[in-house]
Amino acid sequence: MTAHHPDDDAIAELCERVRRFVDDVAIPAESPAIARDVSALDACVARLRIQAREAGLYAPQLPKEWGGLGLGWRALAQVLEAAGRGFLGPAALNCAAPDQPNMLTLLRLGTAAQQESYLRSLVRAEQRACFAMTEPAPGAGSDPSMLRTRATQHGQRWVLNGHKQFISGGVGANFALVLAQTDVGATLFLVPADTPGYRVVRDIGMVTGYQIGGHAEIELDGCEVGPDAVLGEPGRGLEYAQLRLEPARLSHCMRYIGRARRALETAQAYVAQRESFGARLADLQQIQAMVADSHIDLHASRLMTLDCASRMDAGLPVKQHSAMTKVFVSEAVNRVADRAVQMMGALGLSDDTPVAMIWQEMRPFRIYDGANELHRATLARRLLKHA
């Protein structure tokens, strides 16, 4: 499963093909009417994935032997930015959360049988999955060690009981990667959604749109699975969750840089033609400062993301670097989207352009994959420890 590292010209050519696909195919499929409709999104994305396969752009993160493009992380950073311009772009290429990190987790931890049963269906987009870790208070949130969902072993089988919430992709998911506490520590389980005792309570309304599978609340009540449901080794679930989250949060950075760039381009086009008080908005110094600051934020975000991606390609640890990158990029893209709204005034708050939805998407990123306050605290403790 060796990653492919194309040269700069090849990456640029691929990114241009992805951008054309997103602009010509994925973006025209966007509509506020489907933004929070799970069934409509599934149907739309299914059609887009057929076109992405035909265009040779499908699953850039997967090894070639699994039907993907086999890209390394540095190349993937640039491709995901291009895909991330569209709300539906990453899903069309089957490199959107939560299934992108779900697939990589199964590649890394799954047995041959688990990969055949679960991974292959995700690769082919025949099924969807979710990662069920977050729980209602006082359960696991930014602190996974507060995990309260319990898996009890009875002979060779396991019985899961617990309550999960804000599970991205959980509505309509065919199976879940469930983190549960056991006698030997937190453990990851593969749980089919049709298992008795597994119940999706509701789709929790959220500020974001275009989330495949919504955000589910899930109850596990006497949910019994076999020994083949354990993913990896029992007791190593928190370690596996962290291994999943590091590339997941970096992938979010890649996609959201693309989305913020689209918001900025939309705002720039607007201020270049909009006149007020006898002058173009683009000729006003306050607007110029917002444009300049936004490009600075995107440039710095891109460089931090590429640096972290290069470390991952080299097999180096990225715990500290991915945390710093996530904190900076999540706040920088939020600033960019906020400025785009401000530059466009009421139009930037409307459904007439993508800017308002992008702005709404950027705010939660400071919470996703660990709240920024948590990352700052853990970063500081590690840095001060070696001061």
Q: Is the pLDDT of residue 85 over 90?
A: yes
Distance CA 332, CA 261 (A): 11
Q: What is the mean pLDDT of residues 251-274?
A: 98
Domain 238-385 has CATH 1.20.140.10: yes
**Superfamily grouping for domain 129-231:** Butyryl-CoA Dehydrogenase, subunit A, domain 2 (2.40.110.10)
- What's residue 79's pLDDT? 98
Nearest to 76 by CA among 49, 92, 50, 57: 57
Q: Residue 28: is the preceding peptide bond cis (ω within 30°)?
A: no
Model confidence band, residue 301 (pLDDT cutoffs 50, 70, 90): very high
Query: What confidence tens digit (pLDDT) does each residue in 96-145 have?
Result: 999 999 999 999 999 999 999 999 999 999 999 999 999 999 999 988 88
pLDDT at 86 over 80: yes
Look at residues 78, 120, 97 and name the one whose alpha carbon lies nearest to residue 247.
97
Q: Is the pLDDT of residue 5 over 90?
A: no
Mean residue pLDDT of the chain comes to 96
Q: What percent of the chain has pLDDT over 90?
A: 95
Token pair 């688990």 in the structure block, residue? 114
Handedness of CA 86, 13, 309, 266 (dihedral sign): negative
Q: Which CATH superfamily is domain 6-110 in?
A: Acyl-CoA dehydrogenase/oxidase, N-terminal domain (1.10.540.10)
d(C-alpha 38, C-alpha 41), whole Å: 5
- Give pTM, 2 decimals: 0.96
- Alpha-helical segments (H) within 36-110: 38-54, 73-83, 89-92, 99-109
Q: Do residues 214 and 207 make contact, with C-beta atoms less than 8 angstroms apart? A: no
Give residue 209's pLDDT.
94
Q: Are 68 and 79 in contact (CB under 8 A)?
A: no
Tens digits of residue pLDDT in 215-256: 999 999 999 999 999 999 999 999 999 989 999 999 999 999
Percent of the residues in the chain that have a pLDDT greater than 70, as a whole number: 99
Domain locations in the chain?
Answer: 6-110, 129-231, 238-385
pLDDT recorded at residue 130: 98
User: 319-344 vs 372-385: helix axis angle to the nearest 10?
Assistant: 140
